[in-house]
Structure 1
Amino acid sequence: MNVRRRCAVALAATAVLGAAAAPAVAADPSPSPSSPALPSGLYGTTDPTYDGVWRQSLALLAQTTADVRPADKAVDWLTGQQCADGAFAPYRADPAAKCDAETPVDTNSTAAAVQALAAVGGQQKTVKDAVAWLKSVQNEDGGWGYTPGGASDANSTSVVIGALTAVTTHLSKVVNGGKAPYDALLSFALPCGDADGDGDGGGAFAFQPDDKGKLTANADATAAGVLGALGKGLAPEAGKAATPTCADGSGTAGPERAAANGAAWLADAVAKDGHLTSALAGAEDQPDYGNTADAVVALAAQGGAERAAKPLAWLEENAGDWASRSGPAAYAQLIFAAHATGTDPRDFGGTDLVAALNATGPEPDATAEQDSGSKDSDSEGTDSEGADSEDSGFGTWWYVGVCLVFGIGIGFLVSGRNRKRQP
């Protein structure tokens, strides 16, 4: 997602392939022996430089999805990362220091924080300011890049759409240069058929066009694009049962058609082995756990839980070790996959994902059963136009081509995610 850009992050990402869809940033980079003690409210024990806000946001959103009320200190840590202008950077070691032009704010971090805090409730001003900042950095094509002013990409645009719909912003009214978010998102959708010359790109989404304007199918961007086209965030519920098929005209037939086309491509991609495969230059191909989890969420959101049955079963059997190595964002991705398919996250292939996630940070305040009705469900319910709140979500997402992306202004880990900024 232009959600994946930061060379250092990319390097970290390659170490833990498929790690939780961090915004074009990789998931949980390795800790540095000389790094200072981490904040007590932060989830995860690895260096948060490139993914602190991202993994915290996913952790809080996953907890609320599983009817767990996050610890106040965890929520306070996240809100404390916000800059005065509403943006978020991947991580600010000294939240008391004023953000300036050098603060690396990004759209992915900001959009993820909006989704998490809207779900937690009680953070109206923080959410409102973040949404206002996201609108202020919209590109003239209607989309968003990882960094403000960076070229739009499918992942970043999708995660921002998830943030906007979390507060019921009317996407048709979020316009720049006469273009709305779906105008940009659909420009990354490949038509059905052998559109990119390799026989398998029809219906997929590209991350961005290359320097010659060519679109190439990308699994991470496709999972993100399906959710964005559906107007969903990182943690959607299952959609109506449907068999995804690809029909020509994905770029002009509207977001629902583009979502169905993308889901059809994902279904084909996981049909043989039950998982997506990572293909990094110079490295042997291997299962991509993070993108497979994102694919499960996208397939279920577009065509119902049954469409994601095979990759879900593969994750239940194989993803436990990956999540334990990768940290809170990975556990969150699996919880989103369970939620989207109606699977019990407390018994996911024999693993209690909720307990495992909770153990990576401050102990939650309560579960829904212990504290029913305490959540301020309508606290984020009004956007700048006065709309009522709905649900949030978006599935994780983005690319390890971070170095590449950063060079051209992109974001979101091999699953893509952009982050915020502000003074």
Structure 2
Amino acid sequence: MNVRRSAAVLAATAVIGTAAPAVAADPSASPSPSVAIPEGLYGAGDPTYDGVWRQSLALIAQHRADVRPAAKAVDWLAGQQCANGSFAPFRADPAKACDSKTLVDTNSTAAAVQALSALGEHQAVVDKAETWLRSWQNKDGGWGYTPGGPSDANSTAVVIGALAASGLDPEKDVLRNGHSPYDALLDLALPCADGGGFAYQPDKKGKLAVNADATAAAVVGAAGLNMVTAQADDRGKGDCADGPADPEQAATNGAAYLAKAVRKDGYLKSALPGSEDQPDYGNTADAVVALAVRDGASAAREPLAWLEKNSAVWAKQSGPAAYAQLIIAAETAGADPRDFGGTDLVKELNALGPAPRKPATAAKADKDDDGSGNAVWWTVLAGLAAGAGVGMLLSGRNRKRHQ
């Protein structure tokens, strides 16, 4: 769930499928996009490497905030799908068929599935994407960023979320060679002596190194949740414990690692070379979600408070995916995304794309309007009120709208 890949890293990952996720500002904030920005796309920056990802997160965040995304925004996302069901990070000309040069990936595809499933639109697109994802499941049960690439924790987690969103049980319904996606995550879990978190991938020598971003993703994935369904669990904080391979305990161990990582400063630090002392806003938002999902809202309180105080400039500079991450974190941990450190995250996100559709109730009221500025049902309500002896003048109505 992270705005984590710079353009250069994304390009490298699409080619070799083994680069660990980097942490960087959202490339959608680029001031000089190299391609024309489609009308339905959120953000004004170059979408070459993150168009589908940022659009999916934006639609998910709006859905979680009870906002109906614009039809053109939803249609744009669905229209990015290739004929085989996959998604690339961005297709400037969707009318042109995908070919062997189209760098499709599991992360873009899975994010689109989560968004479209949540909205209940374009089911045929969701079904084709699900079939494509399942066709590229590795023998260990997981997925890599590129189709057929070595499994990594982030990709496996986001695909688990997509398949769960489409109604599948990842543990029982999604098996390859007898291995489920949870088996792939467990293969990347470290013992408590090494931190108890998750690695992104084994290195060239097969060794595992704990990675905070991969850990946050894996904790949510191990719970069978996704960006849409993540909610705080009130079970309370758990301790790291080694033992038989078990997704639940592995997730508990991962949350214990994240809790320790944010304890000193309230945030996760950047994994980019040379920037160890810099805060990583996106990964911190992911940690909030993981901590809340596993240990409850109270476990996420400190990093959430840090984000409320410090994330406004980052979000403004980074674009729609950043606002979406913050909305998802706030929603999961029980904060108000419309008053997040004094910022209305929902309003800021909505302003970066086509205006959302009106709520269904407001749309119906407008349809019933008689053209005089008052709805036809105004007269009906006034008559009912008078008949009941209510001594008040009904002078109109207020309709609640999501900005």
What SS does the corresponding residue of 1:242 show, helix, strand or coil? coil
Q: Decide whether aligned partners of structure 1 residues 2 and 238 sit closer, same or farther in structure 2, where only a CA change above 3 A counts.
A: closer
Residue 305 of structure 1 corresponds to: 297
Amino acid at match of 1:241: R
The correspondence for 1:231, drawn from 224, 229, 252, is 224
Match of 1:210 in 2: 203
CA shift at 1:4, angstroms? 6.8
Question: CA 1:216–1:36 in structure 2 vs 1: closer, same or farther (change >3 Å)?
Answer: closer
CA-to-aligned-CA distance 1:185-232 (integer Å, 9 cap, x gap): 110000112x2xxxxxx2100001111111111000000000010001
CA contact under 8 A between 2:143 and 2:150: conserved in structure 1?
Answer: yes
Q: 1:23·1:109 contact (CA, 8 Å) conserved in 2?
A: no
Task: For 1:99 and 1:225, locate their aligned partners in 2 and report how far apart those are by CA, in whole Å.
Answer: 31
Equivalent residues in 2 for 1:173-184, closer than 5 Å: 173-184=173-184
Displacement after TM superposition at 1:241 (Å): 3.2
Q: Is the 8 A contact 2:10 2:49 kept in 1?
A: no
1:327 paired with 2:319, answer: yes
**Counterpart position of 1:112:** 111
| TM-score normalised by the chain length of structure 1 | 0.79
Task: Give 5+ residue unaligned stretches, structure 2.
Answer: 13-20, 365-403
Instruction: Report if aligned partners of 1:141, 1:179 keep a CA contact under 8 Å in 2.
Output: yes
In 2, Cα distance between equivalents of 1:318 and 1:31: 21
Pick one of 345, 348, 352 that aligns with 1:353.
345
Give the match for residue 189 of structure 2: 189
Tell me which amino acid in the other structure corresponds to 1:149.
G
* Bigger fraction of residues in helix: 2
Q: Which residue of 2 aligns with 1:275?
A: 267
1:260 aligns with 2:252: yes
What amino acid maps onto 1:168 in structure 2? G
Give 1:133's aligned residue: 132
Q: Report if the CA contact (8 A) 1:162-1:232 is conserved.
A: yes
Give, in whole Å, the separation in 1 of the partners of 2:124 and 2:24.
27
Report the AA paired with residue 64 of structure 2.
Answer: T
- 2:196, 2:363 → 1: CA distance? 44
Whether contact under 8 Å (1:241, 1:306) holds in the other structure is no
SS in 2 for 1:277: coil
The match for 1:362 is 354
- Is 2:237 the counterpart of 1:243? yes
Pair 168,5 (structure 1): closer, same or farther in 2 beyond 3 Å: same
Query: RMSD across aligned C-alpha pairs, in angstroms?
Result: 2.3
Distance in structure 2 (CA, Å) of the matches to 1:186 and 1:3: 24
Deviation string for 1:237-268 (max 9, x for gaps)?
1112311210112xx33111111110011001
Contact 1:2 1:155 (C-alpha < 8 Å) held by counterparts:
no
For structure 1, list consecutive stretches of 5 or more residues without a partner in the other structure.
13-21, 196-201, 373-423
Q: 1:371 to 1:115 in 2, by over 3 A?
A: farther
Relative to structure 1, is the Cα distance of residues 23 and 280 closer, same or farther in structure 2, using a 3 angstrom cutoff?
A: closer
Aligned residues: 354
- How far is 1:122 from its partner? 2.4
Corresponding position of 2:72: 73
Matched to 1:124, the amino acid is Q
Partner Cα separation in structure 2 for residue 207 and residue 267 of structure 1: 18
**TM-score of the aligned structures, taking structure 2 as reference length:** 0.83
Structure 2 contact 2–283 (Cα < 8 Å) conserved: no
Match of 2:52 in 1: 53
1:33 to 1:293, Cα distance in 2 relative to 1, 3 A: closer
User: Looking at CA atoms only, which structure, 1 or 2, has the larger radius of gyration?
Assistant: 2
In the alignment, structure 1 residue 314 sits paired with structure 2 residue 326 = no
AA at the equivalent of 2:216:
A
CA distance in 2, matches of 1:96, 1:26: 30
Counterparts of 1:3 and 1:178, CA distance in 2: 33
The alpha-carbon distance between structure 1 residues 25 and 89, as it changes in their structure 2 partners (threshold 3 A), is farther
**Counterpart residue type for residue 184 of structure 1:** A
1:37 offset after TM fit, Å? 2.7
What is the CA distance between 1:116 and its match in structure 2?
0.4
Deviations 1:346-376, CA, capped at 9 Å, x for gaps: 000000000000001001002476469xxxx
1:151-190: CA deviation from partner (whole Å, max 9, x where unpaired): 0000000000000111121212211222111111110000
**Kindly, what percent of the aligned residue pairs are identical?**
64
Query: Match for residue 38 of structure 1?
Result: 37
Distance 2:180 2:271 in 1: 33
Match of 1:168 in 2: 167
CA distance in 2, matches of 1:355, 1:148: 36
Corresponding letter in the other structure for 2:293: A
Q: Is the 8 A contact 1:4 1:10 kept in 2?
A: no
List structure 1 segments (4+ residues) > 2 angstroms apart after TM superposition: 1-7, 9-12, 22-37, 282-285, 366-372
- Displacement of 1:279 in angstroms is 3.5
Query: Structure 2: which amino acid aligns with 1:230?
Result: A
Equivalent position amino acid for 1:237 in 2:
Q
Deviations 1:297-350 (A, max 9, x none): 000011111110000000000001100000000000000111101111100000
C-alpha contact (below 8 Å) 2:3/2:282 kept by paired residues? no
Give the conservation status (yes or no) of the 8 Å contact 1:241–1:305. Answer: no
Residue identity in the other structure for 1:239: D
